[in-house]
Amino acid sequence: MLSYIKNQEWSIKRIFTLTVTFLVSVMLGGSILFFLLIAIFSIGLPDVKDAQNLTPTVSTEILDRNGIPLYTIYGEENRKYVPYEKISPYLINATIAVEDENFWVHKGFDIGGIAQAIFHEITGLGAKRGGSTITQQYVKNIFLSPKRSYIRKLKELILAVRLEQYYPKQKILELYLNQIPYGNNAYGAEKAAEIYFSKHAVDLDLAESAILASLPQAPSYYNPYGAHEYSTLTKTFTSEELRKRNIQSETDLEDSEFNRGLIGRLYTLSDNDKVYIKGRSDIVLKRMVELGYI
């Protein structure tokens, strides 16, 4: 009997030892493979330390003898580069709220964001979101092809981590906000502020910043001056049409077909009740509140 118990204990210990050995081997092998892939796909990647690789093309302004702009010459992208301190804090916070809420704490990629994106892709549950951080979006737009692939994603991760190693967060935000398209041939925050609101990026208020932060994900959809249906609403609904669909309050409009515009609209129903149909910019403001920016 004693011999049987000892043999059983030995078997359990052996199984435990083999299991631990197997798991350690898998983890070690996976780590070696991971770093080998990084080494292979790092070959030929651009040098993020070279400032010339990071500087976007800018427009040329022709001035009169008094320094007043006469006209602007540009190629495919109409852009005026401005430093971080010349961009409204409202726009900075609105952009982080809608694009990359963990920007200030991650090291180039957001494990939680990637996991959420994969979970939604597989199950269809939860809020739809991209897994790319602001840093990843920037290096993708500057250095890589827009064609989606696992190889491109790995290169994107490598470049994002490198960029975070060599530049402070504020510089990365400056680069990003001067590079992204806002629609209507406006590239970068300064040109977007000028074209949409006739002011400098540093002077943007909260509402204007929420509108601009809404644009980069789908500039042609949400262009305030565009003809696309998402620029306002999918269609204009009368009070009676709203009533037929049981839309009687803001609560009824959450996640509804009506919640697609850029800027919210206030409607008066047949009994004089007010109904506010939220726009894309309202969603940005809501995220800013949730994250403590306002």
pLDDT band at 235, cuts 50/70/90? very low
Segment 209-231 shows an average pLDDT of 76
The answer to whether 228 touches 235, Cβ cutoff 8 Å, is no
Give the fold, CATH level 3, of 51-221.
Penicillin binding protein transpeptidase fold (1.10.3810)
Residue 117: how many other CB atoms lie within 10 Å:
18
The answer to whether 269 touches 248, Cβ cutoff 8 Å, is yes
pTM as predicted: 0.74
Tens-place pLDDT, residues 146-172: 777 777 888 888 899 999 999 999 999
pLDDT band at 257, cuts 50/70/90? low
Amino acid at 176: Y
Domains of the chain, residue spans: 51-221, 232-287
Amino acid at 108: G
